[in-house]
Structure 1
Amino acid sequence: MSTKNKVALVTGASSGIGEAIAQKLSTAGYKVYGTSRRGGGEVGQRTFKMLPLDVTQDASVDAVVRQLIQLEGRIDLLVNNAGFGVAPAGAEESSIAQAQAIFDTNFFGMVRMIRSVVPHMRRQGSGRIINIGSVVGFLPSPYMALYSATKYAVAGYSESLDHELRTQGIRVSVVEPPYINTPFEANSMQPDTPLDMYREIRAGMEQRLKDGIAGAEGPEVVADIVLKAATATQPKTHYAPGMAGRLRLLRRFAPASLLDAGVRKDLRLDAIAR
């Protein structure tokens, strides 16, 4: 599918996966607008424009979409990447307010963007929406319960929405990467009601997360998959790059007890507990 004269909007594009996606789309021929809460920031090697956007605010979302329609007259591709995590912690170490905050960005932020963009895509009779999920959206990680829950929600919403919009010329995909070597940890929120009983477990899980990220592929692997999904004649609903693809097969075909044991061994949960 040609990218000539196509307009793309990428949220959370100031660094990491979002920046790599925006750069990849721009290189492929899209006219790309990235967003972040701070807007432009350091330009560096970017070949795309940055706009200020807070996905937790209806007015901010509507203003950016309205601005883009005024500038370009259309939006052909929306990539919902904005989000953050909670540092490894017991599920009970986050308050209800913190749980609501992470859902407000990771899930409802995506919903706000889609609600604002879809009417324009529907009038065009075409459009692509790609939501960035995670491997923990189909294989949940212990001590990342809230983050896993938001990514499960992203996956379910994306799959349902694709069925709804397909007959209107709009396709929806979710990309579910594994560990990616980005500053994920720096953007993670610390639990706001920590309990001493989890202190050693938290430290062990934080180190395991650091090790996993340090040895992971860079964000370009996600950017490549997003471009593939955006330009495919018949896009898939789910894309799982790298190790995530193998984990998805395991989730589907491996016995539950074997997968359970594998998760605990990989994360060293029983060793941490001792």
Structure 2
Amino acid sequence: MNVNAKNIVVTGGGNGVGRELVLQLLSKGAMVVAVDINPEALDETVQMAGKNPLLFTEVVDISNKEAVFAFAKNAIEKYGKIDGIINNAGIIQPFVELNDLEMARIERVMAINFYGTLYMVKAFLPHLLSRPEAHIVNVSSMGGFLPVPGQSVYGASKAAVKLLTEGLSSELKDTNVKVSVVIPGGIATDIKKNSSLASNESTDSSKAKMVLTPEKAAELIIKTMEKKKLRAYIGKDCNVMKFLYKVNSFIAMGMINKVMAANEH
């Protein structure tokens, strides 16, 4: 879908990849509705966009079903049409094993990563089906196909997003709504901070070469939408691990275990 002159909703638009998605979509001539739970972060995005008249912001907690459905109804009435949604918002869990992870943390990760995505899709889908052309992009993760120690619940939430998207694509194959799932590897964002977690990671140059910048990740996500691709694995680390996992899942999991053990979180 050509994003020029389209009205697109982006969740997590207050920082990181979400903010870059907003800025790049605006540069391509789209009208953007940036959604975030943090109003101050949205204000920063507005400032960075130069107070672009094609940018609108909405404070929404996507884990709240009623809030999402109310937002969708109001957005369609307020902006006249919505042609696409990019479900980018997400959080990670503390780097601890499932046995030590509090249920409140588990429920919040699932509520934002999976249910937040599901609510957005359900709330907007009837309207998207009425558009001449529409697109849904859901952002999953490398952790959604490759088990990462200490991130089992996060991985489960992102695996659910992947399967939800692929199933939805099959259901909508004869409609005007296209569906994509983007599966990124590591991205240099503040996801730990935004997930209310402390971060002690060092900036290793060899690792940095494998990690996507938010700008590049956003560019590839938009390209996935424009090319109407069902599935896009983005990032060098993601594509390397995808290959290894396909060849020998035990070797791939062993490598991830070693990498995680060698890093402080």
TM-score range relative to shorter protein: 0.7 to 0.9
Question: Do residues 218 (structure 1) and 225 (structure 2) align?
Answer: no
Match of residue 171 from structure 2: 164
In 2, Cα distance between the equivalents of 1:131 and 1:212?
29
Instruction: Please list every run of 5 or more consecutive structure 1 residues that lacks an aligned counterpart in the other structure.
Output: 191-202
Residue of structure 2 in register with 1:24 after alignment: 24
Aligned residue in 2 for 1:52? 59
Check the 8 A contact 1:177/1:242 in 2, yes or no. Answer: yes
Q: Distance in 2 between matches of 1:230 and 1:180?
A: 19
SS of the aligned residue for 1:97 comes to helix
Q: Relative to structure 1, is the Cα distance of residues 2 and 125 closer, same or farther in structure 2, using a 3 angstrom cutoff?
A: closer
Whole-Å separation in 2 of the counterparts to 1:54 and 1:225: 26
TM-score, normalised relative to structure 2? 0.87
Residue 229 of structure 2 is matched in structure 1 by 236
Query: Following superposition of structure 1 onto structure 2, how do residues 3-82 of structure 1 map, counting pairs within 5 Å?
Result: 3-39=3-39, 40-42=42-44, 43-46=46-49, 47=52, 48-82=55-89
How many Å apart are 1:189 and its aligned residue?
4.3
| Structure 1 residue 115, shift from structure 2 partner | 0.5
1:1-274 superposed matches below 5 A: 1-39=1-39, 40-42=42-44, 43-46=46-49, 47=52, 48-189=55-196, 207=200, 210-211=202-203, 215=208, 216-232=211-227, 235-243=228-236, 244-252=238-246, 254-268=247-261
Task: Tell me, in whole angstroms, the C-alpha distance in 1 between the residues paired with 2:160 and 2:196.
Answer: 19
Identity of aligned residues (%): 26
Q: Determine if contact 1:86/1:189 at 8 Å carries over to the other structure.
A: no
Does structure 1 retain, via aligned residues, the 8 Å contact 2:186–2:235?
Answer: no
**Corresponding position of 1:197:** none
Is contact 1:85–1:189 with CA below 8 Å preserved after alignment?
A: no
Q: 1 CA distance for matches of 2:203 and 2:2? A: 39
Equivalent residue letter for 2:43 = G
Distance change (3 Å), C-alpha of 1:210 and 1:116: farther
Alignment check: 8 A CA contact 1:85 1:188 kept? yes
* Residues matched between the structures, number: 253
User: How far apart are the structure 1 equivalents of 2:154 and 2:9?
Assistant: 24
Could you say what secondary structure the match of 2:48 adopts? Answer: coil
Structure 1 runs of 4+ aligned residues shifted over 3 Å read: 209-214
Using the TM superposition, give the Cα deviation of residue 138 of structure 1 relative to its aligned residue in structure 2, in angstroms: 1.0
C-alpha distance in structure 2 between counterparts of 1:32 and 1:109, whole Å: 19
Under a length normalisation based on structure 1, what TM-score does the superposition of the two structures give? 0.85
CA contact (8 A) 1:84 1:188 kept: yes
8 Å CA contact retained: 1:77, 1:230: no
* CA–CA distance in structure 1, aligned partners of residues 202 and 56 of structure 2: 31
Amino acid at match of 2:219: D
Q: 1:229 to 1:256 in 2, by over 3 A?
A: closer
Distance change (3 Å), C-alpha of 1:176 and 1:20: same
The answer to whether the 8 Å contact 2:146/2:253 transfers is no
For 1:136 and 1:257, locate their aligned partners in 2 and report how far apart those are by CA, in whole Å.
15
- 2:133 maps to a residue whose letter is S
Offset at 1:245? 2.1
Q: What CA distance in whole angstroms lies between the structure 2 residues aligned with 1:183 and 1:246?
A: 24
For residues 215-261 of structure 1, the C-alpha deviation after alignment (integer angstroms, 9 at most, x for no partner) is 233111211111111211xx222211122122222222x22332233
Let me know the Cα RMSD of the aligned residues: 2.2
Is the 1:178–1:241 contact (alpha carbons within 8 Å) kept by the matching residues of 2? yes
Q: Which amino acid aligns with 1:41?
A: D
Q: Is the 8 A contact 2:185 2:212 kept in 1?
A: no
TM-fit CA distance, 1:188: 2.4
Alpha-carbon deviation of 1:77? 1.0
Alignment partners' CA distance in 2, 1:241 and 1:123 = 31
